Amino acid sequence: MIRTFARAATFLALAATLLAPRPALADAYLDAWHPYQTYWAVGWSAAIPTTSLRSNFISNPGLLGGGFDIRIGVVGRLAVGGSATWNWFDQTISSLTIQQGQLTFTGPVYRRLGAFTALATVHYYFTQSAVQPFVGVGLGGVWFSTLQQTVNRPQNTSTSGLVVAPEVGFLFNVAQRLGLYLSGRYQFNMTTIPGVKNPQWASVQAGLAYYF
């Protein structure tokens, strides 16, 4: 009799554990029930100049920047969309010798670079779990504005060109239809600014995403 009661108690405890209400888990983006979800994201972007952009024009990281993304699931865990980012770099060099027309100047130089990038994107998410690693690539255009200031002689330029930008990152699903993302992107710009051909940088993106 005691064994029967013990077995019954064990069974009831197990049933209570299985049937007890649990907190809702955050749904993954592009899960099995929502294969065509729309993803909206906004966040911060910080960039580090590389190659000739770093050596010939500006070496300071650009900590002021931001971005906006929209993605739509098309098949499985594949999404297509668009991205717009803005990055800002500036630096004061205490002493530099530069040639401006017929003049040679040695002294302090202030340099500034602003870049607006618009991309068409493709991303693939490897899992449908709480943490979703992903890879992607963007193709599009970039618009540059630069300033080089020496005493009272400003030199402004503007240009545009094509962009290729591979990306890898993680989406952290923290609540229903809500996530935090962290990604790294390498941006290769096919254009020329003063002293630099094909300026490039590596950037970090972080922000908030909503999907429905």
pLDDT tens profile 130-145: 999 999 999 999 999 9
The answer to the question of residue 164 being in a domain is: yes
The answer to the question of residue 50 being in a domain is: yes
The answer to the question of residue 2 being in a domain is: no
The pLDDT assigned to 2 comes to 44
> 3-state DSSP helix/strand/coil percent for the chain, to nearest 5?
10, 70, 20
Residue type, 25: L
pLDDT tens profile 170-211: 999 999 899 999 999 999 999 999 889 999 999 999 999 999
* CB 203, CB 87: distance < 8 Å: yes
147-149-150 Cα angle (round to 5): 155
- 119 versus 152: the higher-pLDDT residue is 119
Per-residue burial over 1-14, b = 16 or more CB atoms within 10 Å of its CB, e = otherwise: eeeeeeeeeeeeee
The answer to the question of residue 9 being in a domain is: no
H-state helical runs in the chain: 2-19, 51-56
pLDDT tens profile 89-125: 999 988 777 776 677 767 788 999 999 999 999 999 9
pLDDT tens profile 26-85: 679 988 888 899 999 999 999 999 999 999 999 999 999 999 999 999 999 999 999 999
The answer to the question of residue 11 being in a domain is: no
Q: Which two tokens stand for residue 151?
A: 């005493």
The answer to the question of residue 6 being in a domain is: no
Closest CA to 127 of 76, 59, 196: 76
CATH code (residue 154): 2.40.160.20
The pLDDT assigned to 100 comes to 65
The answer to the question of residue 15 being in a domain is: no
Q: Which domain holds residue 82?
A: 26-211
* CB 181, CB 209: distance < 8 Å: yes
The answer to the question of residue 5 being in a domain is: no
User: How many distinct structural domains can be found in the chain?
Assistant: 1
The pLDDT assigned to 27 comes to 79
The pLDDT assigned to 107 comes to 76
User: pTM score, two decimals?
Assistant: 0.81
The pLDDT assigned to 20 comes to 41
